[in-house]
Structure 1
Amino acid sequence: MTNIVRVSSTAMVLALAVSAPAFAQSTWTYSDIDQDGNLELSDVEFDTVGRDVFTTWDADSNQMIDENEFHGGLYDAWDVDRDGMLTEAEYGAGWDTWFRDQDAVGFNDLDLNADAGLDESEFSAGLGEAGLHDTWAAGGDLGEEQFATALYGVYDADGDQIITQAEYDLVGVFWTADVATANTLEAEVISLDDWAYDDLYAEGISAEDFIDEMVVYDVTGEEIGDVEDIIIGPDGRIASIVAEVGGLWDIGDTHVSVPYAEVVMSDDGLGVVIPVTEETVGDYGFDRDVFTAGSATSEVVSGVDDAEVLRGWRASELIGDYARIRDGDAYSNYGYINDLLLRDGQVAAVVVQANEAYGSGYRAYPYSGYGGGWNAGSPYYDMQYDAEEVGGVEEFDYGRF
Protein backbone atom coordinates (compact mmCIF):
# COMPACT_ATOMS: atom_id res chain seq x y z
CA MET A 1 0.00 0.00 0.00
CA THR A 2 1.55 3.26 -1.08
CA ASN A 3 -1.21 5.84 -0.95
CA ILE A 4 0.44 8.27 1.46
CA VAL A 5 -0.71 11.84 2.05
CA ARG A 6 1.86 14.61 1.94
CA VAL A 7 0.70 17.41 4.20
CA SER A 8 0.94 21.05 3.11
CA SER A 9 3.70 22.77 5.09
CA THR A 10 1.80 26.06 4.94
CA ALA A 11 -1.27 24.49 6.48
CA MET A 12 0.75 22.89 9.22
CA VAL A 13 2.54 26.14 10.09
CA LEU A 14 -0.83 27.76 10.61
CA ALA A 15 -2.08 24.86 12.69
CA LEU A 16 0.98 25.12 14.90
CA ALA A 17 1.08 28.85 15.18
CA VAL A 18 -2.52 29.94 15.68
CA SER A 19 -4.59 29.10 18.69
CA ALA A 20 -8.08 30.33 19.33
CA PRO A 21 -9.12 33.02 21.76
CA ALA A 22 -10.18 32.08 25.23
CA PHE A 23 -13.73 30.79 25.42
CA ALA A 24 -16.39 31.09 28.05
CA GLN A 25 -17.14 27.46 27.13
CA SER A 26 -13.68 25.95 26.54
CA THR A 27 -14.78 22.41 25.70
CA TRP A 28 -16.32 22.87 22.25
CA THR A 29 -15.08 20.03 20.09
CA TYR A 30 -15.95 19.42 16.46
CA SER A 31 -18.28 16.58 17.40
CA ASP A 32 -20.07 18.77 19.96
CA ILE A 33 -20.93 21.29 17.27
CA ASP A 34 -21.57 18.87 14.39
CA GLN A 35 -25.10 18.16 15.57
CA ASP A 36 -26.20 16.09 12.57
CA GLY A 37 -22.95 14.10 12.50
CA ASN A 38 -22.28 14.67 8.80
CA LEU A 39 -18.68 15.84 9.36
CA GLU A 40 -19.52 19.30 8.01
CA LEU A 41 -20.25 22.41 10.08
CA SER A 42 -22.89 24.75 8.72
CA ASP A 43 -23.13 28.38 9.77
CA VAL A 44 -26.13 27.43 11.92
CA GLU A 45 -24.16 24.76 13.81
CA PHE A 46 -21.15 27.07 14.16
CA ASP A 47 -23.29 29.89 15.55
CA THR A 48 -22.81 28.61 19.11
CA VAL A 49 -19.04 29.00 18.84
CA GLY A 50 -19.33 32.45 17.26
CA ARG A 51 -21.56 33.69 20.06
CA ASP A 52 -19.27 32.16 22.69
CA VAL A 53 -16.21 33.98 21.33
CA PHE A 54 -18.22 37.18 20.98
CA THR A 55 -19.11 37.07 24.68
CA THR A 56 -15.43 36.65 25.59
CA TRP A 57 -14.24 39.53 23.41
CA ASP A 58 -17.07 41.85 24.54
CA ALA A 59 -15.14 43.03 27.59
CA ASP A 60 -17.72 45.58 28.77
CA SER A 61 -20.67 43.24 28.08
CA ASN A 62 -22.59 45.86 26.11
CA GLN A 63 -23.43 43.43 23.28
CA MET A 64 -21.09 45.24 20.87
CA ILE A 65 -17.38 44.87 20.13
CA ASP A 66 -15.64 48.18 19.59
CA GLU A 67 -12.25 48.65 17.94
CA ASN A 68 -10.25 48.32 21.18
CA GLU A 69 -12.04 45.11 22.17
CA PHE A 70 -11.53 43.74 18.66
CA HIS A 71 -7.79 44.40 18.74
CA GLY A 72 -7.54 42.97 22.25
CA GLY A 73 -9.29 39.77 21.20
CA LEU A 74 -7.04 39.37 18.18
CA TYR A 75 -3.91 40.02 20.22
CA ASP A 76 -4.85 37.37 22.79
CA ALA A 77 -5.63 34.89 20.00
CA TRP A 78 -2.40 35.45 18.09
CA ASP A 79 -0.15 35.44 21.18
CA VAL A 80 0.18 31.66 21.10
CA ASP A 81 2.66 31.28 23.94
CA ARG A 82 0.72 33.76 26.10
CA ASP A 83 3.85 35.74 26.99
CA GLY A 84 2.33 39.17 26.31
CA MET A 85 4.49 39.75 23.23
CA LEU A 86 3.84 38.90 19.57
CA THR A 87 6.79 37.53 17.64
CA GLU A 88 7.05 38.00 13.88
CA ALA A 89 6.12 34.33 13.39
CA GLU A 90 3.02 34.63 15.58
CA TYR A 91 1.98 37.82 13.83
CA GLY A 92 2.51 36.38 10.35
CA ALA A 93 0.63 33.17 11.08
CA GLY A 94 -2.21 35.09 12.69
CA TRP A 95 -2.59 37.44 9.75
CA ASP A 96 -2.44 34.62 7.19
CA THR A 97 -5.26 32.80 8.96
CA TRP A 98 -7.56 35.63 10.03
CA PHE A 99 -7.05 38.09 7.16
CA ARG A 100 -5.65 35.90 4.40
CA ASP A 101 -7.43 37.82 1.62
CA GLN A 102 -5.99 41.21 2.60
CA ASP A 103 -2.56 42.70 2.09
CA ALA A 104 -0.61 42.31 5.31
CA VAL A 105 0.67 45.25 7.32
CA GLY A 106 4.40 44.66 7.72
CA PHE A 107 5.60 43.48 11.12
CA ASN A 108 8.47 45.99 11.11
CA ASP A 109 6.02 48.81 10.39
CA LEU A 110 4.25 48.00 13.67
CA ASP A 111 7.36 47.27 15.76
CA LEU A 112 8.05 50.91 16.55
CA ASN A 113 10.75 50.26 19.15
CA ALA A 114 12.46 47.61 16.97
CA ASP A 115 12.65 45.05 19.78
CA ALA A 116 11.52 42.14 17.55
CA GLY A 117 8.20 41.92 19.36
CA LEU A 118 4.83 43.66 19.35
CA ASP A 119 3.23 44.69 22.60
CA GLU A 120 -0.52 45.23 22.61
CA SER A 121 -0.27 49.00 22.17
CA GLU A 122 1.92 48.68 19.05
CA PHE A 123 -0.39 46.00 17.68
CA SER A 124 -3.56 48.02 18.31
CA ALA A 125 -2.16 51.26 16.92
CA GLY A 126 -0.99 49.62 13.72
CA LEU A 127 -4.14 47.63 13.08
CA GLY A 128 -6.23 50.68 13.90
CA GLU A 129 -4.55 52.58 11.07
CA ALA A 130 -5.11 49.57 8.79
CA GLY A 131 -8.84 49.60 9.60
CA LEU A 132 -9.18 45.86 10.26
CA HIS A 133 -12.10 46.37 12.62
CA ASP A 134 -14.04 48.01 9.80
CA THR A 135 -13.50 44.99 7.54
CA TRP A 136 -15.65 43.00 9.96
CA ALA A 137 -17.97 45.74 11.20
CA ALA A 138 -18.49 47.70 7.96
CA GLY A 139 -18.46 50.88 10.03
CA GLY A 140 -19.47 51.24 13.67
CA ASP A 141 -19.15 48.56 16.33
CA LEU A 142 -19.49 44.82 15.76
CA GLY A 143 -22.76 43.16 16.65
CA GLU A 144 -23.04 39.51 17.59
CA GLU A 145 -24.45 38.33 14.26
CA GLN A 146 -21.84 40.23 12.23
CA PHE A 147 -19.08 38.82 14.41
CA ALA A 148 -20.29 35.21 14.14
CA THR A 149 -20.53 35.52 10.35
CA ALA A 150 -17.01 36.95 10.03
CA LEU A 151 -15.54 34.35 12.39
CA TYR A 152 -17.17 31.59 10.35
CA GLY A 153 -15.30 32.98 7.34
CA VAL A 154 -12.00 32.67 9.22
CA TYR A 155 -12.60 28.97 9.76
CA ASP A 156 -14.04 28.31 6.30
CA ALA A 157 -10.65 28.61 4.60
CA ASP A 158 -11.81 27.53 1.14
CA GLY A 159 -15.01 29.59 1.24
CA ASP A 160 -17.33 26.70 0.40
CA GLN A 161 -19.77 27.49 3.25
CA ILE A 162 -18.78 24.31 5.09
CA ILE A 163 -16.23 23.92 7.88
CA THR A 164 -14.48 20.56 7.76
CA GLN A 165 -12.69 18.93 10.68
CA ALA A 166 -9.34 19.96 9.16
CA GLU A 167 -10.43 23.60 8.82
CA TYR A 168 -11.76 23.59 12.37
CA ASP A 169 -8.53 22.15 13.77
CA LEU A 170 -6.45 24.58 11.72
CA VAL A 171 -7.63 27.53 13.77
CA GLY A 172 -7.38 25.42 16.92
CA VAL A 173 -10.59 26.33 18.75
CA PHE A 174 -10.45 23.70 21.45
CA TRP A 175 -6.97 22.20 21.60
CA THR A 176 -5.52 24.67 24.10
CA ALA A 177 -8.00 23.82 26.85
CA ASP A 178 -6.73 20.44 27.99
CA VAL A 179 -3.34 19.87 26.39
CA ALA A 180 -1.33 20.90 29.42
CA THR A 181 -3.29 18.60 31.71
CA ALA A 182 -3.10 15.65 29.33
CA ASN A 183 0.64 16.00 28.92
CA THR A 184 1.16 15.65 32.67
CA LEU A 185 -0.15 12.09 32.58
CA GLU A 186 2.36 9.29 32.68
CA ALA A 187 2.52 6.71 29.92
CA GLU A 188 4.73 3.72 29.27
CA VAL A 189 7.32 4.64 26.64
CA ILE A 190 8.48 1.74 24.49
CA SER A 191 12.24 1.75 24.04
CA LEU A 192 13.24 2.09 20.39
CA ASP A 193 16.04 -0.40 21.06
CA ASP A 194 13.31 -3.06 21.25
CA TRP A 195 11.20 -1.65 18.40
CA ALA A 196 10.85 -3.61 15.14
CA TYR A 197 8.51 -3.51 12.13
CA ASP A 198 8.05 -7.26 11.61
CA ASP A 199 4.56 -7.48 13.15
CA LEU A 200 3.45 -4.28 11.41
CA TYR A 201 4.58 -5.57 8.02
CA ALA A 202 2.82 -8.89 8.62
CA GLU A 203 -0.45 -7.78 10.21
CA GLY A 204 -0.70 -3.98 10.15
CA ILE A 205 -3.34 -1.91 8.35
CA SER A 206 -2.83 1.64 7.10
CA ALA A 207 -5.53 3.92 8.53
CA GLU A 208 -5.00 6.34 5.64
CA ASP A 209 -5.61 3.62 3.05
CA PHE A 210 -8.51 2.20 5.06
CA ILE A 211 -10.24 5.58 4.98
CA ASP A 212 -9.40 6.42 1.37
CA GLU A 213 -9.83 3.06 -0.35
CA MET A 214 -12.20 0.76 1.54
CA VAL A 215 -15.58 0.07 -0.07
CA VAL A 216 -18.55 -0.68 2.18
CA TYR A 217 -20.87 -3.65 1.49
CA ASP A 218 -24.03 -4.86 3.17
CA VAL A 219 -24.44 -8.48 4.25
CA THR A 220 -25.81 -9.44 0.80
CA GLY A 221 -22.63 -8.26 -0.89
CA GLU A 222 -24.15 -5.11 -2.39
CA GLU A 223 -21.91 -2.05 -2.41
CA ILE A 224 -23.61 0.62 -0.30
CA GLY A 225 -20.97 3.27 0.39
CA ASP A 226 -17.45 4.19 1.46
CA VAL A 227 -15.46 4.46 4.69
CA GLU A 228 -15.14 8.08 5.84
CA ASP A 229 -13.15 7.82 9.09
CA ILE A 230 -12.17 5.63 12.02
CA ILE A 231 -13.21 6.40 15.60
CA ILE A 232 -10.57 5.62 18.22
CA GLY A 233 -11.45 5.29 21.91
CA PRO A 234 -9.41 6.95 24.69
CA ASP A 235 -7.58 3.64 25.21
CA GLY A 236 -6.30 3.62 21.63
CA ARG A 237 -8.61 0.81 20.51
CA ILE A 238 -10.83 1.13 17.43
CA ALA A 239 -14.35 1.96 18.62
CA SER A 240 -16.16 2.19 15.29
CA ILE A 241 -15.88 3.13 11.65
CA VAL A 242 -17.70 6.04 10.06
CA ALA A 243 -19.20 5.29 6.65
CA GLU A 244 -21.29 7.17 4.13
CA VAL A 245 -24.02 4.84 2.91
CA GLY A 246 -27.43 4.81 1.31
CA GLY A 247 -26.81 6.19 -2.15
CA LEU A 248 -28.95 3.42 -3.64
CA TRP A 249 -31.63 3.70 -0.96
CA ASP A 250 -34.56 6.08 -0.88
CA ILE A 251 -33.09 7.88 2.15
CA GLY A 252 -30.11 9.21 0.18
CA ASP A 253 -26.55 9.44 1.48
CA THR A 254 -26.16 9.45 5.25
CA HIS A 255 -23.32 8.93 7.73
CA VAL A 256 -23.35 6.00 10.13
CA SER A 257 -21.04 4.89 12.91
CA VAL A 258 -20.73 1.10 13.12
CA PRO A 259 -19.14 -0.55 16.18
CA TYR A 260 -15.88 -2.17 15.16
CA ALA A 261 -17.01 -5.51 16.59
CA GLU A 262 -19.73 -5.57 13.90
CA VAL A 263 -17.36 -4.82 11.01
CA VAL A 264 -16.04 -7.71 8.89
CA MET A 265 -13.40 -7.52 6.17
CA SER A 266 -14.60 -8.57 2.72
CA ASP A 267 -13.13 -11.73 1.20
CA ASP A 268 -10.95 -9.75 -1.22
CA GLY A 269 -9.62 -7.52 1.56
CA LEU A 270 -10.63 -4.39 -0.36
CA GLY A 271 -13.76 -3.57 1.58
CA VAL A 272 -15.75 -4.06 4.75
CA VAL A 273 -19.12 -5.64 5.41
CA ILE A 274 -21.47 -3.93 7.85
CA PRO A 275 -24.92 -5.04 9.09
CA VAL A 276 -26.61 -1.78 8.09
CA THR A 277 -29.74 -1.90 5.96
CA GLU A 278 -32.21 0.70 4.77
CA GLU A 279 -34.46 -0.35 7.66
CA THR A 280 -31.76 -0.32 10.38
CA VAL A 281 -29.69 2.69 9.32
CA GLY A 282 -31.29 4.74 12.09
CA ASP A 283 -29.77 2.40 14.68
CA TYR A 284 -26.24 3.38 13.73
CA GLY A 285 -26.07 7.05 14.62
CA PHE A 286 -23.01 8.61 16.22
CA ASP A 287 -22.26 7.68 19.82
CA ARG A 288 -21.68 11.15 21.19
CA ASP A 289 -20.45 9.77 24.52
CA VAL A 290 -17.16 8.62 23.01
CA PHE A 291 -16.38 12.25 22.12
CA THR A 292 -17.40 13.71 25.46
CA ALA A 293 -14.46 14.78 27.59
CA GLY A 294 -15.98 13.46 30.80
CA SER A 295 -17.05 10.10 29.43
CA ALA A 296 -13.78 8.27 30.00
CA THR A 297 -13.02 6.70 33.34
CA SER A 298 -9.74 6.04 35.11
CA GLU A 299 -10.13 2.39 34.12
CA VAL A 300 -9.67 3.28 30.46
CA VAL A 301 -6.09 4.49 30.87
CA SER A 302 -4.25 3.09 33.86
CA GLY A 303 -2.96 5.67 36.30
CA VAL A 304 -5.08 8.57 35.08
CA ASP A 305 -6.41 10.65 37.94
CA ASP A 306 -8.05 13.42 35.93
CA ALA A 307 -10.10 11.58 33.32
CA GLU A 308 -11.91 14.72 32.21
CA VAL A 309 -9.30 15.37 29.51
CA LEU A 310 -9.94 12.04 27.80
CA ARG A 311 -12.23 11.58 24.84
CA GLY A 312 -12.48 9.49 21.73
CA TRP A 313 -11.13 10.89 18.48
CA ARG A 314 -11.16 10.45 14.71
CA ALA A 315 -8.11 9.01 12.98
CA SER A 316 -8.16 12.08 10.74
CA GLU A 317 -7.53 14.25 13.82
CA LEU A 318 -4.04 12.81 14.35
CA ILE A 319 -3.06 12.35 10.70
CA GLY A 320 -1.48 15.65 9.68
CA ASP A 321 -0.36 16.68 13.16
CA TYR A 322 3.16 18.00 13.60
CA ALA A 323 5.54 15.49 15.22
CA ARG A 324 8.13 16.79 17.67
CA ILE A 325 10.97 15.12 19.58
CA ARG A 326 12.60 15.91 22.88
CA ASP A 327 15.28 18.60 22.85
CA GLY A 328 16.49 19.01 26.42
CA ASP A 329 13.56 20.30 28.45
CA ALA A 330 11.65 21.36 25.33
CA TYR A 331 10.61 19.87 21.98
CA SER A 332 11.88 20.50 18.46
CA ASN A 333 10.20 19.95 15.10
CA TYR A 334 10.76 16.53 13.59
CA GLY A 335 8.17 15.99 10.84
CA TYR A 336 4.49 15.26 10.14
CA ILE A 337 2.19 12.37 11.03
CA ASN A 338 1.31 10.85 7.66
CA ASP A 339 -0.43 7.66 8.74
CA LEU A 340 -1.54 5.48 11.63
CA LEU A 341 -0.84 1.76 11.61
CA LEU A 342 -3.58 -0.41 13.09
CA ARG A 343 -3.03 -3.90 14.47
CA ASP A 344 -5.14 -6.18 16.67
CA GLY A 345 -7.97 -3.64 16.73
CA GLN A 346 -5.93 -0.73 18.04
CA VAL A 347 -3.47 1.98 17.01
CA ALA A 348 -0.04 0.36 17.08
CA ALA A 349 2.15 3.03 15.50
CA VAL A 350 2.33 6.46 13.94
CA VAL A 351 4.16 6.95 10.64
CA VAL A 352 6.16 10.17 10.51
CA GLN A 353 7.56 11.86 7.44
CA ALA A 354 10.74 13.30 8.90
CA ASN A 355 12.16 16.70 7.98
CA GLU A 356 15.26 16.79 5.76
CA ALA A 357 17.44 17.55 8.78
CA TYR A 358 16.63 14.06 10.07
CA GLY A 359 17.02 12.24 6.78
CA SER A 360 13.50 12.60 5.35
CA GLY A 361 11.61 9.39 4.53
CA TYR A 362 8.92 7.58 6.53
CA ARG A 363 9.55 6.04 9.93
CA ALA A 364 7.08 4.31 12.24
CA TYR A 365 7.10 4.85 16.00
CA PRO A 366 5.06 3.24 18.80
CA TYR A 367 1.77 4.99 19.50
CA SER A 368 1.88 6.17 23.10
CA GLY A 369 -1.64 7.58 23.45
CA TYR A 370 -2.88 9.97 26.10
CA GLY A 371 -0.14 11.21 28.37
CA GLY A 372 2.56 10.11 25.95
CA GLY A 373 2.79 13.28 23.91
CA TRP A 374 -0.61 13.93 22.36
CA ASN A 375 -4.11 15.00 23.29
CA ALA A 376 -7.09 14.82 20.95
CA GLY A 377 -7.50 18.25 19.38
CA SER A 378 -3.85 19.29 19.67
CA PRO A 379 -1.85 19.89 16.47
CA TYR A 380 1.33 18.64 18.21
CA TYR A 381 2.31 15.00 18.66
CA ASP A 382 5.23 15.11 21.09
CA MET A 383 7.24 11.90 21.04
CA GLN A 384 9.21 10.92 24.12
CA TYR A 385 12.43 10.35 22.16
CA ASP A 386 15.41 12.57 21.36
CA ALA A 387 17.29 13.04 18.08
CA GLU A 388 19.78 10.28 18.82
CA GLU A 389 17.02 7.76 19.55
CA VAL A 390 14.92 8.51 16.45
CA GLY A 391 18.07 8.53 14.34
CA GLY A 392 18.50 4.83 14.99
CA VAL A 393 15.11 3.85 13.52
CA GLU A 394 15.15 2.48 9.97
CA GLU A 395 12.85 3.76 7.24
CA PHE A 396 9.42 2.17 7.02
CA ASP A 397 9.06 0.29 3.72
CA TYR A 398 5.50 0.58 2.42
CA GLY A 399 6.44 -1.89 -0.29
CA ARG A 400 6.54 -4.63 2.35
CA PHE A 401 3.30 -3.54 3.97
Structure 2
Amino acid sequence: MIIDIKKLMGSAAIIAALAATPAVAQEADWDVDGDSMLSAEEFADGFRERAIFSNWDQDSDGLISDNEFTGGVYNSYDLDDSDGLDEAEYGVVDDGAPGYWNAGVTSADYEAWDIDGDGVVLSNEFADGFSEVGLLGEWDVDRDGALNEEEFTTGVYDRYDEDDTGIIEEPELTDIGDDMGDEGFWDV
Protein backbone atom coordinates (compact mmCIF):
# COMPACT_ATOMS: atom_id res chain seq x y z
CA MET A 1 0.00 0.00 0.00
CA ILE A 2 1.47 3.30 -1.13
CA ILE A 3 0.56 6.36 0.90
CA ASP A 4 0.61 9.68 -0.88
CA ILE A 5 2.26 11.89 1.77
CA LYS A 6 1.25 15.12 0.02
CA LYS A 7 -2.43 14.12 -0.02
CA LEU A 8 -2.25 12.96 3.59
CA MET A 9 -0.62 16.21 4.73
CA GLY A 10 -3.04 18.28 2.64
CA SER A 11 -6.02 16.47 4.16
CA ALA A 12 -4.62 16.95 7.64
CA ALA A 13 -4.18 20.67 6.99
CA ILE A 14 -7.76 21.02 5.78
CA ILE A 15 -9.12 19.15 8.81
CA ALA A 16 -7.01 21.28 11.15
CA ALA A 17 -8.23 24.47 9.48
CA LEU A 18 -11.85 23.40 9.78
CA ALA A 19 -11.40 22.49 13.42
CA ALA A 20 -9.82 25.87 14.09
CA THR A 21 -12.72 27.86 12.61
CA PRO A 22 -13.79 30.22 15.39
CA ALA A 23 -16.79 29.20 17.43
CA VAL A 24 -18.57 32.48 16.79
CA ALA A 25 -18.53 31.91 13.03
CA GLN A 26 -19.68 28.30 13.34
CA GLU A 27 -22.20 28.45 16.18
CA ALA A 28 -23.77 31.84 15.71
CA ASP A 29 -23.69 31.78 11.91
CA TRP A 30 -22.39 35.33 11.94
CA ASP A 31 -20.16 34.67 8.94
CA VAL A 32 -23.04 34.73 6.45
CA ASP A 33 -20.90 34.56 3.32
CA GLY A 34 -18.68 31.79 4.75
CA ASP A 35 -15.37 33.55 4.05
CA SER A 36 -14.04 33.07 7.62
CA MET A 37 -14.09 36.84 8.12
CA LEU A 38 -16.65 39.19 9.61
CA SER A 39 -17.63 42.37 7.88
CA ALA A 40 -19.09 45.21 9.92
CA GLU A 41 -22.56 44.24 8.69
CA GLU A 42 -22.17 40.57 9.66
CA PHE A 43 -20.87 41.56 13.07
CA ALA A 44 -23.68 44.06 13.65
CA ASP A 45 -26.31 41.46 12.76
CA GLY A 46 -24.78 38.83 15.05
CA PHE A 47 -24.22 41.31 17.87
CA ARG A 48 -27.82 42.51 17.58
CA GLU A 49 -29.11 38.92 17.75
CA ARG A 50 -27.37 38.51 21.12
CA ALA A 51 -29.33 41.55 22.43
CA ILE A 52 -26.26 42.98 24.14
CA PHE A 53 -27.22 46.60 23.49
CA SER A 54 -30.67 46.16 24.98
CA ASN A 55 -29.21 44.37 28.01
CA TRP A 56 -26.85 47.27 28.67
CA ASP A 57 -29.56 49.89 27.98
CA GLN A 58 -31.08 49.46 31.44
CA ASP A 59 -33.74 52.17 31.07
CA SER A 60 -34.69 51.06 27.52
CA ASP A 61 -34.43 54.59 26.11
CA GLY A 62 -32.42 53.49 23.06
CA LEU A 63 -29.20 55.01 24.42
CA ILE A 64 -26.42 53.73 26.64
CA SER A 65 -25.49 56.45 29.12
CA ASP A 66 -22.09 56.74 30.77
CA ASN A 67 -23.48 54.98 33.87
CA GLU A 68 -24.98 52.15 31.80
CA PHE A 69 -21.77 51.79 29.78
CA THR A 70 -19.52 51.68 32.82
CA GLY A 71 -21.99 49.38 34.59
CA GLY A 72 -22.04 47.00 31.63
CA VAL A 73 -18.26 46.75 31.61
CA TYR A 74 -18.11 46.39 35.39
CA ASN A 75 -20.78 43.70 35.53
CA SER A 76 -19.02 41.70 32.84
CA TYR A 77 -15.87 41.57 34.96
CA ASP A 78 -17.58 41.08 38.33
CA LEU A 79 -17.65 37.34 37.76
CA ASP A 80 -19.02 36.44 41.19
CA ASP A 81 -21.62 39.26 41.24
CA SER A 82 -20.21 40.49 44.55
CA ASP A 83 -20.28 44.21 43.64
CA GLY A 84 -16.55 44.23 44.04
CA LEU A 85 -13.68 43.49 41.67
CA ASP A 86 -10.94 41.72 43.52
CA GLU A 87 -7.45 41.17 42.17
CA ALA A 88 -8.42 37.88 40.52
CA GLU A 89 -11.23 39.59 38.60
CA TYR A 90 -9.35 42.69 37.52
CA GLY A 91 -6.43 40.41 36.72
CA VAL A 92 -8.62 39.11 33.89
CA VAL A 93 -8.43 42.60 32.42
CA ASP A 94 -4.73 43.07 33.15
CA ASP A 95 -3.44 39.61 32.21
CA GLY A 96 -0.51 40.87 30.18
CA ALA A 97 -2.54 40.86 26.97
CA PRO A 98 -4.01 44.04 25.55
CA GLY A 99 -7.41 43.15 26.98
CA TYR A 100 -10.69 44.14 25.41
CA TRP A 101 -11.65 47.00 27.70
CA ASN A 102 -8.52 47.98 29.53
CA ALA A 103 -7.33 50.53 26.93
CA GLY A 104 -4.01 50.65 28.73
CA VAL A 105 -5.48 50.13 32.20
CA THR A 106 -3.10 48.22 34.47
CA SER A 107 -3.24 46.63 37.90
CA ALA A 108 -1.67 49.82 39.23
CA ASP A 109 -4.64 51.77 37.88
CA TYR A 110 -7.06 49.41 39.63
CA GLU A 111 -5.12 49.80 42.84
CA ALA A 112 -5.37 53.59 42.45
CA TRP A 113 -9.13 53.28 41.80
CA ASP A 114 -9.47 51.34 45.06
CA ILE A 115 -10.02 54.50 47.08
CA ASP A 116 -10.41 52.80 50.45
CA GLY A 117 -7.42 50.49 49.82
CA ASP A 118 -9.26 47.30 50.76
CA GLY A 119 -8.10 45.37 47.67
CA VAL A 120 -11.57 45.44 46.11
CA VAL A 121 -12.68 47.93 43.46
CA LEU A 122 -16.33 48.73 44.13
CA SER A 123 -18.69 49.76 41.32
CA ASN A 124 -18.54 53.46 42.27
CA GLU A 125 -14.73 53.35 42.41
CA PHE A 126 -14.63 51.60 39.05
CA ALA A 127 -17.05 54.11 37.52
CA ASP A 128 -14.86 57.04 38.55
CA GLY A 129 -11.68 55.42 37.26
CA PHE A 130 -13.03 53.84 34.10
CA SER A 131 -14.81 56.99 32.93
CA GLU A 132 -11.38 58.64 32.78
CA VAL A 133 -10.37 56.07 30.13
CA GLY A 134 -12.74 57.87 27.77
CA LEU A 135 -14.10 55.04 25.62
CA LEU A 136 -17.66 56.34 25.67
CA GLY A 137 -16.50 59.73 24.43
CA GLU A 138 -14.37 58.07 21.78
CA TRP A 139 -17.33 56.07 20.45
CA ASP A 140 -19.94 58.84 20.82
CA VAL A 141 -19.84 60.07 17.22
CA ASP A 142 -22.76 62.50 17.55
CA ARG A 143 -21.34 63.86 20.85
CA ASP A 144 -24.65 63.66 22.72
CA GLY A 145 -23.09 62.03 25.79
CA ALA A 146 -24.59 58.57 25.15
CA LEU A 147 -24.27 55.73 22.67
CA ASN A 148 -26.99 54.69 20.28
CA GLU A 149 -26.96 51.10 19.04
CA GLU A 150 -24.94 51.90 15.91
CA GLU A 151 -22.27 53.81 17.85
CA PHE A 152 -22.03 51.03 20.43
CA THR A 153 -21.80 48.25 17.85
CA THR A 154 -19.30 50.16 15.71
CA GLY A 155 -17.16 50.91 18.76
CA VAL A 156 -17.11 47.26 19.77
CA TYR A 157 -16.39 46.15 16.18
CA ASP A 158 -13.52 48.60 15.86
CA ARG A 159 -11.96 47.31 19.10
CA TYR A 160 -11.97 43.76 17.72
CA ASP A 161 -10.58 44.92 14.36
CA GLU A 162 -7.18 45.51 15.96
CA ASP A 163 -5.33 45.80 12.65
CA ASP A 164 -7.83 48.37 11.29
CA THR A 165 -8.46 46.48 8.04
CA GLY A 166 -12.23 46.95 8.22
CA ILE A 167 -12.64 43.16 8.38
CA ILE A 168 -12.35 40.89 11.39
CA GLU A 169 -10.26 37.84 10.57
CA GLU A 170 -7.99 35.49 12.50
CA PRO A 171 -6.72 35.92 15.18
CA GLU A 172 -9.37 38.58 15.88
CA LEU A 173 -12.15 36.03 15.25
CA THR A 174 -10.79 33.84 18.03
CA ASP A 175 -11.05 36.77 20.45
CA ILE A 176 -14.71 37.22 19.51
CA GLY A 177 -15.34 33.48 19.89
CA ASP A 178 -13.82 33.53 23.36
CA ASP A 179 -15.73 36.63 24.41
CA MET A 180 -19.09 35.49 23.02
CA GLY A 181 -18.84 31.95 24.40
CA ASP A 182 -20.06 30.63 27.72
CA GLU A 183 -18.73 32.77 30.55
CA GLY A 184 -17.09 35.09 28.04
CA PHE A 185 -17.25 38.85 28.35
CA TRP A 186 -20.46 39.17 26.30
CA ASP A 187 -22.20 36.10 27.72
CA VAL A 188 -25.54 37.51 28.86
TM over 0.5: same fold?
yes
Change in CA separation of 1:162 and 1:81 when aligned onto 2, cut-off 3 Å: farther
1:314 aligned partner: none
User: How far off its partner does 1:150 sit?
Assistant: 0.5
The equivalent position to 2:24 in structure 1, one of 26, 29, 32, is 29
Change in CA separation of 1:83 and 1:154 when aligned onto 2, cut-off 3 Å: farther
Kindly indicate whether residue 160 of structure 2 is the aligned counterpart of residue 155 of structure 1: yes
1:249 aligned partner: none
1:247 aligned partner: none
Residue deviations 1:131-152, cap 9 Å, x none?
3321221432101111111010
The question of whether the paired residues in 1 share the 8 Å contact of 2:37 and 2:173 is answered with no
- Residue identity in the other structure for 2:99: T
Residue identity over aligned pairs, in percent, reads 31
Aligned to 1:162, the other structure's residue is in SS state coil
**CA distance in 2 between partners of 1:166 and 1:81 (Å):** 29
2:136 aligned partner: 133
1:97 aligned partner: 99
Q: Kindly report the root-mean-square deviation, in angstroms, between the aligned alpha carbons of the 2 structures.
A: 2.9
> What TM-score, normalized by structure 1, do the two folds share?
0.34
2:4 aligned partner: none
> What TM-score, normalized by structure 2, do the two folds share?
0.68
User: How far off its partner does 1:50 sit?
Assistant: 3.4
User: How far off its partner does 1:112 sit?
Assistant: 0.8
Structure with a larger share of its residues in strand: 1
**5 Å matches for 1:347-362?**
none
Structure with a larger share of its residues in helix: 2
**CA distance in 2 between partners of 1:53 and 1:75 (Å):** 14
User: How far off its partner does 1:164 sit?
Assistant: 2.3
Ranges in structure 1 where 5+ consecutive residues have no aligned partner = 1-27, 179-401
Kindly indicate whether residue 46 of structure 2 is the aligned counterpart of residue 49 of structure 1: yes
- Residue identity in the other structure for 1:115: D
Residue deviations 1:316-373, cap 9 Å, x none?
xxxxxxxxxxxxxxxxxxxxxxxxxxxxxxxxxxxxxxxxxxxxxxxxxxxxxxxxxx
Aligned to 2:179, the other structure's residue is in SS state coil
4+ aligned runs moved over 6 Å, structure 1: none
User: How far off its partner does 1:80 sit?
Assistant: 4.2
The question of whether the paired residues in 2 share the 8 Å contact of 1:35 and 1:45 is answered with yes
Ranges in structure 2 where 5+ consecutive residues have no aligned partner = 1-22
**CA distance in 2 between partners of 1:95 and 1:120 (Å):** 23
2:180 aligned partner: 174
**CA distance in 2 between partners of 1:60 and 1:48 (Å):** 22
Kindly indicate whether residue 63 of structure 2 is the aligned counterpart of residue 60 of structure 1: no
User: How far off its partner does 1:38 sit?
Assistant: 0.7
**5 Å matches for 1:314-329?**
none
